[in-house]
Structure 1
Amino acid sequence: MAAMVFIRKTIENVETYMALTEADVEEEYRRAGKLHKYEPAKELDKRFARIIKKYPPPQGLFIPNLDRYLSSLDDDDDE
């Protein structure tokens, strides 16, 4: 069940992101006061990392490079 929730939330997040324009994403960052941290090349990784933190995948669900995704959020926290 947890795996299905994780997968569903991941798909919903990707669909939402795909519907946004770059200007929409920049506006999200601007409203949050983090426009200086916006990196288009890393945006999808960061969104996936937020899903991993909010809806942790169950043990046994293999996610390659899991630490890489989570470190993308840690990099923002360091600044």
Structure 2
Amino acid sequence: MAKAWEAASGAGLDLDKARSDMQSPGIDAALKLDMQDVKAMGVRETPTFFVNGQSLSQFSPQALRKLVRDEIASAKK
């Protein structure tokens, strides 16, 4: 964890503000909501992409383009 904080500081993160923000109820609520979404959508790995609730089964730019095109075509019907 110390290395992560060191890297973040080196990248310009205000460590005092970040540590303070970590304790914010809003941050906790957002993380809980994200975890509910992860469970509901069955996410098991990252990155995971969704287009209109459809998951990208094969990770590649071509597969993402195809999924977007298919969803656009479906929406036009």
What's the TM-score once normalised by structure 2's chain length? 0.29
Could you say which structure has the higher helix fraction? 1
Q: Whose radius of gyration is greater, 1 or 2?
A: 2
Could you say which structure has the higher strand fraction? 2
Return the structure number with greater relative CO, CA threshold 8 A, min gap 6.
1
